Structure 1
């Protein structure tokens, strides 16, 4: 038996759902997971500044949703983000060509998704897209943990976790539990308890997010191993 149903198919279907709440949630999740990767690719591959990349990313998502591109996704043909990455390549290539034609006084041509498979995606840009996607998943999970802690009256638990595991991850050496305890006025044992609980819940939120962003049990397990370094 599969570990969970094919949630990505439901998510894609919800992008064109008549249920406004389901549609809004699906759109919100897609944009939250893919906006940063899209902006990063536009800046790296197409040499756009941040403002122009953000504008084009906004236009890309609006165009993709308006034209129902994402509902064309077929799980049997690969990962959703590979499909979205291909759509982006087609859109950005056409936008780049259109800008050149406008300068020359030529006519614009519509975006053709069928041309996307012919477009070459530089390996370094593809790696950047993957890295930014992984970071987005972690960011979504972190925000869900923050909301859970806030709702449960455990804001201090989140603050301790953020100080040690998030902020501390950028330090040469992670802060000592004693330093965190002194900073927040807590016993060291309480810091340890807070971190154990928060790490467990953060991992659960990462897995929950991946379930929403993958199309099969096999893909889910593969992504979980890649992000967490072990079986889910």
Structure 2
């Protein structure tokens, strides 16, 4: 996926900011089922940047998996809202800072101490299928830069997944499969004229369909980013950051 091309497709276009997963967590002062479910959902969605960060520090697959699992368990059990505020409510920054502190503490942990086992289990085994390809890039990036890139790509994957589900639900899966290549900047993609011929559409109809897909993509991307920040005013800044990461 050409992440930079995909995320740039979201420039322009607005959204209505509503209560998000992250704001639910931030506003929860006690243990509420809604906040717990929201944070667990975010952990499941954005586990890969954390796992990649740990692996980049030289840990093996199993040890990294165990550490990320334990980190999630502690995070879900003991939210530090003061730390969230210091990171200006950005989930991306909060998780990285929290993980660094967790790893530093682990280095001082006695080898015989039993690992923390409380909290829900995040099934990381199910999420590691594409690990080999991901870590080819790790040789050229620092741990922090790898984390940022994996984070940006995770956002794009979520958005494309939501968009695909919408098109499938409307019976337009074949159209989505063709048009998504224009969003993500795939090389060797067919022309709009070729897509029109294959799908039995006019070229103008394909252009209009892609315009609608891109407009919807813009809305979903901003919604996904809104899930990871505390204030609606932070969405544009986070979007610019992701663009810079993927261009970098």
Gap change, CA 1:213 and 1:185, over 3 Å in 2: same
Corresponding residue to 1:43 among 55, 75, 84: 55
Residue 75 (structure 2) aligns with? 64
- TM-score normalised by length of structure 2: 0.67
Distance 1:137 1:213 in 2: 10
Gap change, CA 1:154 and 1:196, over 3 Å in 2: same
Shift of 1:199: 1.0
Residue 227 (structure 2) pairs with residue 212 (structure 1): yes
Shift of 1:107: 6.1
Larger Rg computed on CA atoms: 1
Residue 212 (structure 2) pairs with residue 200 (structure 1): no
Unaligned 5+ runs, structure 2: 1-15, 117-140
Residue 150 (structure 2) pairs with residue 132 (structure 1): yes
Distance 1:14 1:159 in 2: 40
Q: How does 1:71-110 map to 2 (within 5 A)?
A: 71-75=81-85, 77-78=87-88, 79-98=90-109, 101-102=110-111
Number of equivalent positions: 203
8 A contact 2:39–2:76 mirrored in 1 = no
Shift of 1:145: 0.9
Q: How does 1:169-180 map to 2 (within 5 A)?
A: 169-171=185-187, 174-180=189-195
Distance 1:126 1:80 in 2: 15
8 A contact 2:196–2:202 mirrored in 1 = yes
Unaligned 5+ runs, structure 1: 111-122
Distance 1:26 1:107 in 2: 27
Instruction: Please provide the CA RMSD for this pair.
Output: 3.2
Residue 23 (structure 2) aligns with? 9
Listed one character per residue, the Cα deviations across residues 32-67 of structure 1 (whole Å, up to 9, x for unaligned) are 0x211101101112x12344323322221122112x
In terms of fraction of residues, the more helix-rich structure is: 1
Task: For CA contacts below 8 A with separation 6 or more, give which structure has more relative contact order.
Answer: 2
Shift of 1:170: 3.9
